[in-house]
Amino acid sequence: MPLAVARIAATTSTPAVDARARLSRSLHSASVAPSRRSVAHRHRTAHRVAMTTNATTSSSGMTIEEKFAFDLRGFIVVKNVFDASEVAAMNAAIDARASEIVERKGRLRLGGEAGDPLAGDGSTGRADLGGMLTWNTNGDADVFRSVLAHDRLVPYYHELVGVGYRMDHLPLMIQQKTGADGFVFHGGKMNPDGSWCQELAYTYEQGKMYNQLLAVSVALSDTAPGDGGFAIVPGSHKSNFACPQAILEYKSNQDLVVNPEIKAGDVLLFTEAATHGTMAWTAKHTRRAVLYRFAPSTYAYGRSYYPTWPEGTEEGMTDAQKAVLQPPHHVRLDRTTLTDSGAVAGTQTRDDFKKEHDAKVFGNKYF
């Protein structure tokens, strides 16, 4: 049975047709590449953000209010990135592959033991599905792929991860039916032994935020506070102490945790340096979200890119989307980058005479 997505606005047109038309226009505009080395020229876009209705746009394309909120809390919600027809198209593509969704059972459950605060009904597990970037049948992959270089999202990627950002994890659809367990809190600035968790680090230096791993979650259903789903300890990305186990298990200091309101079509961005998790799902409708993670050009946490991305991942992608799938290496070593509008900016090339020298020394044109 298709998922009944709660409270999504109805459309008078066919959802999948509307989504294809909107995406086609977006991809067409993204295919026009400006001159080389024009990545510094930023395109400003007005964004409607959860925290304010009067946002002031900064020169980066991310508002001053958004910067303040992200630095303070470790997350923001960008409103209405995807319209109702696009959300419906994504859900329809998932429904068509319902038999491939895998429920977590037994040791794969993430919310603790039966009776624990995050364990839900003690039986129903969170369900997972991957592979959406390879769903080339009927163009089902298109909307999922658009997240990689979406004109509403690229300014955030550039500000929070950097020019030349890359997809680090394969996207994952997370589904919770009523009673499904959550996920014990994890992530955070500090390791359990009190050492710095460098691989997830959030830092701020000389007016700029840096994230080693940025999570980007596309909501395909509504979440009201108290429903369950994504939860976070705001500000924990700056904590100098390891999060106590009782808080990780949601058994103590529950007032520190926020379960934010997120509507279908919104996009949640959070730093993996913040302690976060998932509440057991209590609402009557099913929750769905698709989770992506992005990293700086020189960094990799995941390894799904090696030696190549899964078969079919890049087939039919735009050049801009393919640029986001480049393996980790510095921008100056022939890395294709994007403008803030999601178009290909060009490639910052390494001089041929340097590559010729490296080839003589190393047997490879790159050191």
Dump pLDDT digits (tens) for 112-164. 999 999 999 999 999 999 999 999 989 999 999 999 999 999 999 999 999 99
Asked if 215 and 271 touch (Cβ cutoff 8 Å), the reply is yes
pLDDT for the residue 136: 93
pLDDT at 284 over 60: yes
pLDDT at 30 over 80: no
pLDDT at 55 over 90: no
What mean pLDDT, rounded, does the chain reach?
87
Backbone angles phi, psi at 352, to 5 degrees: -60, -40
pLDDT at 4 over 70: no
Mapping DSSP to helix (H, G, I), strand (E, B) and coil, where does residue 184 land? strand
- Please report which confidence band the pLDDT of residue 350 belongs to, taking 50, 70 and 90 as the band edges: confident
pLDDT at 59 over 50: no
Model confidence pLDDT, tens digit, residues 301-330: 999 999 999 999 999 999 999 999 999 999
For 159, the token pair is 């500000």
- Please report which confidence band the pLDDT of residue 349 belongs to, taking 50, 70 and 90 as the band edges: confident
- Please report which confidence band the pLDDT of residue 226 belongs to, taking 50, 70 and 90 as the band edges: very high
Side chain identity at residue 320, one-letter code:
A
pLDDT at 12 over 50: no
Interval 221-232 mean pLDDT: 97
- 5/304: higher pLDDT: 304
| Architecture of the structural domain at 15-35+43-312 | Sandwich (2.60)
The full set of domain ranges for the chain reads 15-35+43-312
pLDDT for the residue 33: 39
Mapping DSSP to helix (H, G, I), strand (E, B) and coil, where does residue 337 land? strand
Q: What does the alpha-carbon distance between residue 350 and residue 333 come to, in Å, rounded to a whole number?
A: 6
Asked if 51 and 79 touch (Cβ cutoff 8 Å), the reply is no
Determine the length of the chain.
Answer: 367
Nearest to 230 by CA among 171, 167, 169, 272: 272
β strands within 149-260, DSSP E? 166-176, 183-186, 202-205, 208-211, 214-219, 229-232
Q: What does the alpha-carbon distance between residue 177 and residue 231 come to, in Å, rounded to a whole number?
A: 17
